[in-house]
Structure 1
Amino acid sequence: MLPHADTGEQMHVDEHGLVMSSASAAAARHYDRAVHELLHFRAEVATEAGAALAEDPGFPMGHVLTAYLDLLTTEPALARAARERFAGFRAGLDEQALLPRERAHVRAVGALLAGDLLTCGALLAGITEEHPRDALALITGHQIDFLTGDARALRDRVGGALPAWGADDRHFGNLLGMYAFGLEEAGHYDRSEEVGLRAVELDPKDVWGIHAVAHTYEMQGRFGDGVRYLDARLPDWSTGTFLNVHAWWHYCLYLLEAGATGRVLDVYDAVMAGGESAMALLDAAALLWRLYLEGSDQSGRWQALADAWTPKMEEPLSAFNDAHAVMSYVGAGRIAEAERLVASRERYVAGGHTTTNHAMTARVGLPVCRALLAFGRGDFATVVDLLHPIRHRINEFGGSHAQRDAVQKTLLEAAIRAGRREARVLVSERISVRPGSPFNWLKQSAVADDAGARAAAAVRAEDLVRQAALPWR
């Protein structure tokens, strides 16, 4: 415990060696435990953050952490509560009495509360440059980079801080897990696999590291390796974290490649149906939409999902979420509700707001939502006209390559159904990047010129599934 040089207030050091203002050593230790739980994506982070503030109601970093937790969920109700709570904290705060790092965090939260994700990310990057061992700045910035679809920042924000960490740090594995995900999103698949496997070796419960390896296999079309990897680590990722449903979603992507639709629906009903969080609803919609594109009627499952999205759509908070809500309305056959959501976002864009989400909605979110709606109407030519011009910047409304592939597959399927020449190019691009994907070869079969070529592509798809040697085939 150290005295503040100017005010005499007691200072405490977190487990990574950073000084912070707090009147309570107990609050500081709860903060450490909260960050530990956050790095493992466990719900206990909220309990520990609450305990820190109970010990010291004025604890600056406790308020910062709690605000980040609420705002990064993309849940409208939590965002509203965070705005009110943090405004109350800030109203009675003498910011000049804070340590410079704490002031920077308060400004970053302020930017996030105002909907300015880019400024928040930049402020957090500045904290990381000066304090590379600030684990909260790193993981929060990492999530901001994910929400803004910035692959380079996902890679370099963590990569630039790594020299300040060592294998003797208990969270070094978590840093490697984040770095592995950034490497994957930036296209460094071999390096991502290497770093991700090392992260999980250091910390078998590093679910983000496991998730990074899963992404790497997905992006390479290595669905057999993905199934075996997740099967081998089932106890480490399948329960007890915020990422449970998302990890099962990755598992289902592998199953879809293998043509195991029945197993996909079994997982959906056991794990995804009835989800309430935005994250869970995103995964459910993205999975059912892939089935929808292949003509699989899941109207009953769609109805429940559409109902769950409706209360989250009252205010524009996430263009990425909006698109998945439209998927759900279209899948449920509730075209009028999809139209109303699109119309509300058109009014939002016309209103001239200055948030990051406003720009995302205008540039990517609205074209995607309109295209999904057009697909539901059977207007496939319009889908191509809307999506083809933006296909190389869809990352701008956030998410990962694997998540955004639902949009790319929508474009491809629409081009095939519309008989558009773009379909051949799109299939060729996919096969060139992921020649091990049965899905890609089945689409090659759909666009091939003659019966022989169609049959050869279909056989190639079946050969890939057989070579994967999955135990249940």
Structure 2
Amino acid sequence: MQDRYGLELSTSSAAARDAYVEGIDQMLSAEAGVEDSLAEALEADPNFALAHAALARQHQVYARVPEAQAAAATAVELRGGTTAREQRHIEIIDLLVTGKVPQALELIGRHLDDHPRDAFALAPACGVFGAIGFSGRIDREAELLRFLEPLATHYGDDWWFATVHAFALIEQGQWDRGRRMAERSLEQRPASAHGAHTLTHALLEAGADNEAIGFLDGWLADSDRASVLHCHIWWHYALLRMAAGDDEAARQAVRENCFPEATTSPPITVFSDSSSFLWRSELAGNARDVDAWERVREFYEAKFPRPIVFVDAHVGLVYAVLGQTEQLQACIAELQELGEGGLLPAGTTGATLARAYGAFVDERWSAVIDLLEPLIPQVVRIGGSRAQRDLMTNTLLAAYVKSGRIDEARAFCERVGDRRPTRPVAGFELC
């Protein structure tokens, strides 16, 4: 029994193998149906250790921590009858779901030396929310590309590897090459949400907004709401519509696909995309939707009892907008203390961002500029894509505009001249 990459699987059931392979492909493409496929695999072979490990990873993606750890523990219990490759694969997943991400990344590197085509062991290191993306390192985008490039010869024309390789290229400014890879990947698996997301980024980074809208108009029409990327791709579509001046279409896209009650996407995506959209909408000159902000706050407090990378970079938005000064100051103090203690990958970046958002709501424009201007080169540490980090760029540009420092806003855009996606900021011409 082998998977799609020619790697041995320790199961005697062809039905279990086929369902597992389908489940893995669904995870790698961010399509719906993962849990059904893995349940089918485990029904056919309850002792299939790798299927339990895959289920653990699926639970982790959706922040179901107890379920993830239980499934990983089952995989560990069953690994005795598996190959050495599978045993290390299970160890990687177990490290990830128990919060030992740096150790997992180190083990992934060693594992790939022996098994470069173990795609599902490689996948957690990839992307802006992966082990490298959330490492807090300032050079993590270049690091990911260096990590992937030597593996390309092992994957050939594989649609999944083309997707993650393309995204890494795009984040390093190689938009044309990344676009060609993403288009080729989608030709092979048109329903791949990861492929659609990657192509969207290629178009955004190149400033091809109209082309991106046209692509998403067609692709989203047939997309599955249960996809792990459902909310996020609609978020991109909403921002494109807002940049094009169609604010109502943008708000409708978010209301129906991104707000907590409208999607089953992972909590980290729902919170960051909802809060980011609401803030960006105000920067673009639209009225504040207090009810929506309240729903996002309630969701945050229910889902995130403790700081978590990338979420930290958005939580200050909520408390600042709602005028909850006490909660904002408590949040800043906690993020500052944890950051100074080395307990947050991005250090004190989240605390500084929260201070800047509070200053922005208080209309202390010079304070916003003083906080954000030196921080912008460091913001990469929070994780997320270049497009997501435009949230901070937009805020800085808006502060320049509101303080009458238009020339400085233009000078800032010139300094980042290698990349000019649209930035809808009221009172400022798009870069």
TM-score range, shorter chain: 0.7 to 0.9
| TM-score, reference length from structure 2 | 0.86
Contact 1:300–1:332 (CA<8 Å) still a contact in 2? no
Contact 2:49–2:79 (CA<8 Å) still a contact in 1? no
Corresponding residue of 1:379 = 364
Contact 1:371–1:387 (CA<8 Å) still a contact in 2? yes
Q: What's the CA shift for 1:400? A: 0.6
Q: How many matched pairs?
A: 419
CA distance in 1, matches of 2:202, 2:79: 46
Q: What's the CA shift for 1:351? A: 5.7
Q: CA RMSD in A?
A: 2.8
Q: Is 1:184 matched up with 2:184?
A: no
Q: Which moved more, 1:420-429 or 1:370-379?
A: 420-429
Corresponding residue of 2:90 = 106
Alignment of 1:220-299 (within 5 A): 220-237=206-223, 239-273=225-259, 274=261, 275=263, 277-278=266-267, 279-296=269-286, 297-299=288-290
Q: Which moved more, 1:332-341 or 1:172-181?
A: 332-341
CA distance in 2, matches of 1:321, 1:116: 19
Q: Using a 3 Å threshold, how does the CA distance of structure 1 residues 94 and 127 change in structure 2: closer, same or farther?
A: closer
Q: Using a 3 Å threshold, how does the CA distance of structure 1 residues 300 and 137 change in structure 2: closer, same or farther?
A: same
Corresponding residue of 1:69 = 58
Q: Which runs of 4+ in 1 moved over 6 A?
A: none
CA distance in 2, matches of 1:272, 1:116: 30
Amino acid at match of 1:372: Y
Contact 2:313–2:349 (CA<8 Å) still a contact in 1? no
- Segments of structure 2 that go 5 or more residues without pairing to the other structure are none
* Percent identical residues: 26
Alignment of 1:61-460 (within 5 A): 61-73=50-62, 75=63, 78-87=64-73, 90=76, 92=77, 98-143=82-127, 144=130, 145-148=132-135, 150-167=140-157, 172-237=158-223, 239-273=225-259, 274=261, 275=263, 277-278=266-267, 279-296=269-286, 297-316=288-307, 318-349=308-339, 353=343, 358-360=344-346, 362-419=347-404, 422-430=408-416, 432-434=417-419, 437=422, 439=424, 446=428
- Segments of structure 1 that go 5 or more residues without pairing to the other structure are 1-11, 447-457, 465-473
CA displacement, residues 56-108 of structure 1 (integer Å, 9 cap, x when unaligned): 444331232122222234x2xx1243234434654x4676x643322322332
Amino acid at match of 2:381: E
CA distance in 1, matches of 2:207, 2:411: 19
Partner SS for 2:388: helix
Greater RCO, 1 or 2 (C-alpha within 8 Å, sep 6+): 2
Q: What's the CA shift for 1:137? A: 1.8
CA distance in 2, matches of 1:272, 1:234: 14
CA distance in 1, matches of 2:224, 2:403: 40
Larger radius of gyration: 1
CA distance in 1, matches of 2:85, 2:370: 48
Amino acid at match of 1:65: A
Contact 1:83–1:113 (CA<8 Å) still a contact in 2? yes
Amino acid at match of 1:49: L
Q: Using a 3 Å threshold, how does the CA distance of structure 1 residues 324 and 435 change in structure 2: closer, same or farther?
A: closer
Partner SS for 1:221: coil
CA distance in 2, matches of 1:119, 1:72: 18
| TM-score, reference length from structure 1 | 0.79
Q: What's the CA shift for 1:152? A: 2.8
Corresponding residue of 1:17 = 6
Q: Using a 3 Å threshold, how does the CA distance of structure 1 residues 224 and 325 change in structure 2: closer, same or farther?
A: same
Q: Using a 3 Å threshold, how does the CA distance of structure 1 residues 29 and 116 change in structure 2: closer, same or farther?
A: same
The structure with the largest helix share of the pair is 1
CA distance in 2, matches of 1:225, 1:368: 33
